[in-house]
Structures are given as structure tokens and as C-alpha cells.
């Protein structure tokens, strides 16, 4: 009877070991692809929110104390970010006209270090604010991002935006990626 009990305890101990082993393996193995997939989605949702002037969604892509840094303009915290974009409504809000403007992201470089991530990517813009609704390519620059994972969700803790069309907002000449 004693031997039998010992075996049952051994079996339960082994069960726990297997479950822990399996879980640890998973968590470690999937990280880069899983983190990158979520960050790519964040990056895309950010731009839809900006171009369609959806400020609730826009500010929700930042952490509560996130920073938006457009070189000359630096704001910190969701409320301040909302205020800054509100003040630029004339630039971003196309809902009152038939013209549209769209920011695009490409060349997304992402480095993940645990719950923190670093991003470098290109952005460019086009619009059709003319009587014929002709597509016009009209601006570009790059992003330098810091992101953190909050309750399993990636958010911007800092986004720096360089713009090659405005002399004061141009980026560095040294490769900002790695």
C-alpha cells in the first residue's frame, strides 16, 4: 500500500513537471513572431486612427504616459497627445471634405527585449486634395519607436517622427536602425 501511494505521488509530480516544461517551452519559442505580429497590427491601427481622425483609438495606441515627439513638438500622456492632434485638426481631419490623406508605414525593423521593443520604420503620405481627386505623393520621413507590453498588449511608450519635407524635422544621416 505504501509503495502504491508513492507511485501515485510520483505520477502526480511527473505530471506537473511535464505541464511546466511544455508551458515554458511555448512561451519562449513563440516570442519574436508573436510580438512582431502584435506590433505590426498596432502600427497599422495607429495610422488608420490618425488618417480617419479617430482620436479615441489614436491615443489608445500609446501608454498612459506615452510620448509623441515630432521633433519641434513634444507631448507626454494620452490627454496631451489628444490635445496636440486636436489642435492640428486642419491637417489631419478630412471628414468635412471629399479629399483624403493617408500615412503609410513600410520597412518595419523591430527588436524585442522582453516586455520592451524598439522600432525603426519609414512613413510616407499621399492625398487627393484637388478638383480631379488625383493621387499626389506628398511627404515622407521615418519613425523611431519605443514600445512596451502592458497586460499582454503592445503600446507605444514613445514615438519620434522625422519628416524629410521640413528642414527642422529632418532625421539623422546615420543609420537609425541596426
Subset of 92-111 contacting a copy of itself (CB under 8 A): 94-95, 98, 100, 102, 104-110
Sheet of 73-76: strand order equals 73-76, 62-70, 153-163, 136-150, 116-127, 101-113
- 139 near a copy of itself, rule: CB under 8 A: yes
Residue 86 Cβ, how far from a copy of itself at the closest point, in Å? 16
Site for a copy of itself in 66-85 (CB under 8 A): none
Which of the stretches 65-73, 78-86, 117-125, 150-158 binds a copy of itself when contact is defined by CB under 8 A?
117-125
For a copy of itself, which residue of 14, 89, 116, 153 counts as binding (CB under 8 A)?
14
For a copy of itself, which residue of 9, 10, 79, 158 counts as binding (CB under 8 A)?
10
With contact defined as beta carbons under 8 Å apart, do 140 and 122 qualify?
yes
Amino acid at each position: 500500500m505504501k509503495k502504491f501511494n508513492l507511485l501515485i505521488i510520483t505520477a502526480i509530480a511527473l505530471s506537473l513537471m511535464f505541464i511546466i516544461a511544455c508551458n515554458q517551452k511555448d512561451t519562449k519559442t513563440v516570442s519574436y513572431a508573436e510580438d512582431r505580429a502584435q506590433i505590426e497590427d498596432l502600427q497599422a491601427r495607429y495610422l488608420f486612427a490618425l488618417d480617419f481622425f479617430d482620436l479615441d483609438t489614436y491615443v489608445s495606441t500609446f501608454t498612459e504616459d506615452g510620448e509623441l515627439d515630432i521633433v519641434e513638438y513634444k507631448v507626454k500622456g494620452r490627454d496631451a497627445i489628444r490635445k496636440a492632434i486636436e489642435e492640428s485638426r486642419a491637417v489631419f481631419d478630412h471628414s468635412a471634405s471629399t479629399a483624403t490623406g493617408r500615412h503609410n508605414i513600410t520597412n518595419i525593423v523591430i527588436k524585442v527585449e522582453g516586455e520592451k521593443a524598439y522600432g525603426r520604420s519609414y512613413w510616407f503620405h499621399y492625398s487627393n486634395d484637388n478638383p480631379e481627386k488625383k493621387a499626389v505623393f506628398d511627404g515622407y520621413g521615418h519613425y523611431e519607436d519605443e514600445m512596451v507590453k502592458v497586460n499582454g498588449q503592445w503600446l507605444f511608450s514613445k514615438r519620434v517622427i522625422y519628416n524629410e519635407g521640413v528642414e527642422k524635422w529632418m532625421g539623422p544621416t546615420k543609420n537609425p536602425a541596426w
